[in-house]
A = this chain, B = another copy of it.
């Protein structure tokens, strides 16, 4: 069973012609080369060199083997560069799942920026509801998730990475467009866009209304804040969306208003409990956090 080192020595000797020069190239002593060649001949059962007046002349067999060995060396080199790239995060595939409001805005920008300095890195971004995200992560199809709502799935762990708040987006020609702040309960007085009380976002807003003894009303029900933004931009009416949805997008079709009261929301990262997270994912997570902070302040 010939091994890689033996092939390396064999090829080098054939290439440079003498054991002495091969030894120099491989940074070992000349006898090391000489012994290795003899040993290789004995285990392969082949005559690899003809000893002619103190010189080594490779046989056709040796040349043939050395030629074939090139493919092996290529694969060896390939593995090494892959290991190096994996260490510095410029190889591998980063599977991320996120809610549309993040994925369409700041997250996709962050991913693009992250990938820019990492040639060879493959990324995948799947958008979906919190249930879909949870499913992707718990099954191992995504290794990192981001959402403004959290999951209670036993094999997914969620950790808050940033604080945000609801903002109200208002079509340009809407009466609310001149207000400095929008009172949340006032949304009942105009046709607005909102979320089902079955969703976490809906429940969050519900609480403001119920505190005032009111019941929330809305003209248009959507599932994601990203959709809400689109509807608002289309002129349907005002909508409450997470401020993350606006980061990295300068949407001139709507005006953004702070709300009264302020409704804080949390962006969480989601990771699988059973599957280990890759170095790459961990690196991206911290990259995203600082990217996020910069985006907010800037």
Check A26 for interface membership: any CB of B closer than 8 A: no
Check A7 for interface membership: any CB of B closer than 8 A: yes
**Copies of the chain in the assembly:** 2
CB pair A69 B61 closer than 8 Å = no
CB pair A2 B79 closer than 8 Å = yes
Q: Out of B52, B71, B91, B277, which one reaches A75, CB within 8 Å? A: B71
For this complex, into which size category does the number of interface residues on chain A fall?
A: 35 or more
CB pair A82 B59 closer than 8 Å = no
Contacts A60-B92, A92-B64, A279-B61; is A83 near B4 (CB within 8 Å)? no
Q: Which residues of B contact A278 (CB under 8 A)?
A: 59-61
Q: Out of B4, B59, B71, B83, which one reaches A65, CB within 8 Å? A: B83
Check A46 for interface membership: any CB of B closer than 8 A: yes
Check A78 for interface membership: any CB of B closer than 8 A: yes
* Residues of A that sit less than 8 Å from B by CB: 1-4, 7, 44-47, 49-50, 52, 57-61, 64-65, 68-69, 71-72, 74-76, 78-80, 82-83, 86-87, 91-93, 143, 274-281
